[in-house]
């Protein structure tokens, strides 16, 4: 592992934990943007490397969520950006169109994020909004502090959304206001989700998380329109019904959609049937023309 570490990021518990845990090479930098914001970077090459940037975030520990997003019935919706970028390299992910660099940035001043979240009232807080936080649990126990916060602040619902199978690293018996949402796709779509665990491993992770006492939801989002779409998604839902108590697990469904400028950049990274599909552009977003029918079909398979 290679770490780019800001000079001011060295004397933090998170930094020291990672340094002690992993065999690493260190390059000292002045500011994370010196690496992260460079032009003409090779995103896919960087994704193939085991490299991270450790930095200190100085402000904006939480952001107000879009009014177009589901606030889950809470008065306020916020999201945290403790990590920028992801270990995975999904060909349909907007992060590839948003960020110029494939190396994730980990902000090491964890307490500042937690202390800012303690100020929230009657809020829904997403902690895996621009990353997959659970995918990083192998290098640092990121979820411990957030689960403890959920125990302390009962008027906050904290969600960690993931494709990871790292649930065995999580503590047992979390509070009801801590939510794990698993993003699931048919195996024919998982092929576009580079470096992610298989569908079978994610389903096993859900089973383990349920046994550990976690509140679980499933996100079939985004639906990807592949060849033999109906048969593939029918087999997928049948598999879930046979391996999970899905009648007891809330399921959200959404089709592929992306800012058109992010998609334009993503095409330069991934030459695939997902990025080059002839989407309909409305209100600066790329969507399937038959989005409604796709969602309704998958819903019909579940309910």
For 35-51, what is the mean pLDDT?
93
In this structure, are residues 233 and 186 in contact, taking their beta carbons and an 8 Å threshold? yes
DSSP secondary structure code for residue 126 in this structure: E
Those residues with Cβ within 8 angstroms of residue 67's Cβ, 6 or more apart along the chain or in another chain: none
For 230-240, what is the mean pLDDT?
98
**22 falls in which pLDDT band (50, 70, 90)?**
confident
For 55-82, what is the mean pLDDT?
89
pLDDT at 151: 97
**68 falls in which pLDDT band (50, 70, 90)?**
low
pLDDT at 21: 82
Integer Cα distance of 42 and 252 in angstroms: 34
Number of H helices, E strands in the chain: 11, 17
- Exposure string of 97-123, with b = 16+ CB inside 10 Å and e = fewer, is bebebbbbbbbbbbebbbeebeebeeb
For 216-234, what is the mean pLDDT?
97
Q: pLDDT tens-digit profile of 140-172? A: 999 999 999 999 999 999 999 999 999 999 999
For 230-257, what is the mean pLDDT?
97
**232 falls in which pLDDT band (50, 70, 90)?**
very high
Integer Cα distance of 224 and 279 in angstroms: 12
pLDDT more than 90, % of the chain: 92
Residue 75 has pLDDT above 80, yes or no: yes
Residue 10 has pLDDT above 70, yes or no: yes
For 202-229, what is the mean pLDDT?
97
In this structure, are residues 78 and 97 in contact, taking their beta carbons and an 8 Å threshold? no
pLDDT at 69: 74
Nearest 5°: CA angle at 165, between 161 and 168? 105
For 62-85, what is the mean pLDDT?
88
Q: pLDDT tens-digit profile of 84-139? A: 999 999 999 999 989 999 999 999 999 999 999 999 999 999 999 889 999 999 99
Beta strands 83-84 and 193-194 are unpaired
pLDDT at 142: 97
Those residues with Cβ within 8 angstroms of residue 84's Cβ, 6 or more apart along the chain or in another chain: 36, 99, 104, 105, 130, 131
pLDDT more than 70, % of the chain: 100
Residue 291 has pLDDT above 90, yes or no: yes
């Amino acid at each position: 592992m290679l770490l780019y570490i800001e000079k001011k990021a060295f004397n933090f518990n998170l930094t020291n934990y990672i340094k002690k845990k992993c065999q690493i090479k260190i390059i000292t930098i002045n500011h994370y943007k010196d690496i992260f914001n460079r032009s003409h970077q090779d995103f896919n090459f960087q994704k193939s490397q085991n490299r991270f940037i450790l930095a200190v975030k100085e402000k904006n520990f939480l952001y107000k969520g879009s009014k177009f997003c589901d606030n889950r019935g809470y008065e306020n919706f916020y999201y945290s950006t403790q990590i920028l970028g992801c270990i995975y390299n999904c060909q349909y992910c907007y992060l590839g169109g948003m960020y110029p660099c494939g190396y994730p940035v980990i902000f090491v001043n964890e307490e500042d994020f937690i202390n800012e979240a303690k100020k929230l009232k009657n809020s829904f807080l997403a902690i895996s909004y621009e990353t997959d936080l659970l995918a990083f649990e192998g290098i640092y126990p990121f979820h411990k502090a957030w689960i403890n916060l959920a125990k302390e602040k009962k008027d906050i619902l904290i969600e960690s959304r993931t494709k990871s199978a790292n649930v065995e690293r999580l503590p047992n018996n979390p509070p009801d206001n801590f939510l794990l949402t698993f993003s699931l796709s048919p195996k024919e779509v998982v092929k576009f989700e580079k470096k992610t665990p298989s569908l079978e491993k994610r389903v096993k992770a859900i089973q383990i998380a349920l046994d550990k006492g976690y509140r679980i939801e499933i996100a079939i989002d985004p639906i990807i329109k592949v060849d033999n779409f109906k048969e593939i998604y029918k087999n997928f839902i049948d598999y879930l019904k046979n391996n999970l108590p899905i009648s007891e697990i809330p399921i959200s469904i959404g089709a592929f959609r992306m800012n058109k400028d992010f998609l334009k950049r993503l095409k330069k990274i991934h030459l695939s049937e997902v990025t080059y599909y002839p989407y309909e552009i409305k209100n600066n977003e790329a969507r399937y023309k038959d989005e409604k029918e796709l969602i309704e079909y998958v819903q019909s398979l579940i309910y």
